[in-house]
Amino acid sequence: MIRYWQYLHEYEPLRKEILAVVDRVFSSGNLILGSEVAAFEKNFAGLCGVACGVGVNSGTDALFLSLRALGVSSGDEVITVANTAVPTIAAIRATGALPVFVDVEPDTFLMNVSQVDAAVTEKTRCIIPVHLFGQPVDMDPLCEIANRNSLPVLEDCAQATGARYRGKAAGSIGDIGAFSFYPTKVLGAYGDAGMAVTSRPELHAHLRRLRFYGMEGAYYAEEEGYNSRLDEVQAAILNFLLPRVKEYGLLRQAVAADYSAALAGVGDLELPLVRPDRTHQFYAYTIKTAQRDGLRQYLQDHGIETRINYPVPVHLMRGYNFLGYKPGALPVTEMLAERILSLPLYPGLSEDSIACVVMTIKNFFAARKS
């Protein structure tokens, strides 16, 4: 079996060092919001080119607490996309606000910024661009729209750690950047973890209060808050792995380049498009084909695991029927859900495995052609 993703390729050579990091934390006598979290917050903010970071327990909470810090509440509207993971929308709903969806570009799968202006209403309080699969949204025109309408921008960077847009790091362009360190991510923890980054001091202070019951001192809440603390152990592991982000990104890009070179012109495949002004971290290598379901089954029959990110757009899920969207509301998003397929990709994927995936795909299309 060629797995879609696995972490053992990373863990095995670093096992002794990672276990030493864990032992250091356990031996420190401080397990909650200590020096490990503070060090990782500082260093990760530096990677993103911003002033401050606030470690939280997940990427979902990074979005939720950021929305709360930006003043989003019940009855407000937040413009985003349905071509995303459920957590983006769950975070919006946790504030009581309603998501308002715009469609995506058919070639990058990213927010179609040209549709955002028309989606702004008097109830709009925030815009969330999702840097899907590791490539940033077209941020300059989006920020122009946001500034014109006095709206904050919250970047969903869950899949885009280390990505860049016109020289700027993902997460540094809007008012806040929200990151996930779920194990599959470009920088992955050994459990759940997240971070919100910003260069605005008032947002930094607000986020720190919100993650710890609204407190600034012991046993006194300045406002209603939550329990969303980044664990010392996960922070220490992430800080240990942080210097490898560039290497991990280059390895992912190399796998993607191998796929693209070998699969060019095969069948009706449309390969990932990387805009020339951006750095794509390839959290996922996602192809598009009208024969997606048959290809996926063929790959599975030959021992190759794949993913569909995402098989049902959020606006058509039963859990979000109350939003009132019907089939056809977001035609590009809905078309992609029927045609996209993500191939195995992680830094330790071997050349032999890449070649096997490529050959199996070629064999599938050759059989259909004959």
pLDDT tens-digit map of 36-93 = 999 999 999 999 999 999 999 999 999 999 999 999 999 999 999 999 999 999 999 9
Does the pLDDT value for residue 217 go beyond 90? no
* Residue 264, in any domain of the structure: yes
Q: Are 286 and 296 in contact (CB under 8 A)?
A: no
User: Is pLDDT above 90 for 139?
Assistant: yes
Distance CA 232, CA 240 (A): 12
Please tell me whether residues 84 and 220 are part of one structural domain. yes
Do 341 and 269 fall within a single domain?
A: yes
Provide the pLDDT for residue 192: 97
Asked whether residue 271 falls in the same domain as residue 141, the answer is no
Clarify whether residues 21 and 168 are in a common domain: yes
Residues 116 and 144 reside in one and the same domain: yes
Sorting pLDDT into bands at 50, 70 and 90, what band is 260?
Answer: very high
Model pTM score: 0.97
**Residue 239 has what pLDDT?**
98
Q: What percent of the chain has pLDDT over 70?
A: 100
User: In CATH, what number is assigned to the domain containing residue 355?
Assistant: 3.90.1150.10
Tell me: do 172 and 249 sit in the same domain: no
What is the average pLDDT value for the chain, to the nearest integer? 97
Question: Is pLDDT above 90 for 166?
Answer: yes
**Rounded Cα gap, residues 82 and 334, in angstroms:** 9
* Residue 2 counted as domain residue: no
For residue 53, the tally of other CB atoms under 10 A from its CB is 27
Q: Are 261 and 237 within one domain?
A: no
Per residue in 169-182, pLDDT (tens digit) is 999 999 999 999 99
Q: Is residue 84 in some structural domain?
A: yes
Give me the DSSP letters along 1-53.
Answer: -B-S--SHHHHHHHHHHHHHHHHHHHTTT--BSSHHHHHHHHHHHHHHT-SEE
Single residue among 185, 214, 243 that ends a domain in this structure: 243
Residues 263, 213 share a domain:
no
pLDDT at 195 over 90: yes
Instruction: Please check whether residues 250 and 362 belong to one and the same domain.
Output: yes
Whether residues 236 and 302 fall in one domain: no
Assign 218 a pLDDT band (cuts: 50, 70, 90).
confident
Q: Which of 193, 217, 243 is the last residue of a domain?
A: 243
What is the pLDDT at residue 369? 83
CATH number at residue 130: 3.40.640.10
Residue 14: its pLDDT value, please?
A: 97
User: What is the average pLDDT across 198-215?
Assistant: 98
CA distances from 249 to 106, 169, 281, 315 (A): 24, 13, 5, 31
Is 346 among the domain residues?
yes
Structure token pair of residue 292: 């997606």
Whether the per-residue pLDDT at 370 is higher than 80: the answer is no
Q: Is the pLDDT of residue 235 over 90?
A: yes
Three-state secondary structure along 149-202? CCCCEEEECCCCCCCEECCEECCCCCCEEEEECCCCCCCCCCCCCEEEEECCHH
Residue 204 belongs to some domain of the structure: yes
Residue 18 has pLDDT above 80, yes or no: yes
53 plus 65 within the same structural domain: yes
Q: What confidence tens digit (pLDDT) does each residue in 140-154 have?
A: 999 999 999 999 999
> Radius of gyration over alpha carbons of the chain, in Å?
21
State yes or no: cis peptide before 310, omega within 30 of 0.
yes
The residue from 208, 224, 243 where one domain ends is 243
User: Is 34 a domain residue?
Assistant: yes
Domain assignment present for residue 151? The answer is: yes
Residue 1 is assigned to a structural domain of this protein: no
Predicted confidence at residue 282, as pLDDT, reads 98
Domain, as residue range, for 148:
8-102+109-243
Q: Are 234 and 38 in contact (CB under 8 A)?
A: no
Could you report the per-residue pLDDT of 317-328, keeping only the tens digit for each?
999 999 999 999
Cα gap 182→161, rounded to integer Å:
12
Number of structural domains (the chain) is 2
Are 84 and 202 found together in one domain?
yes
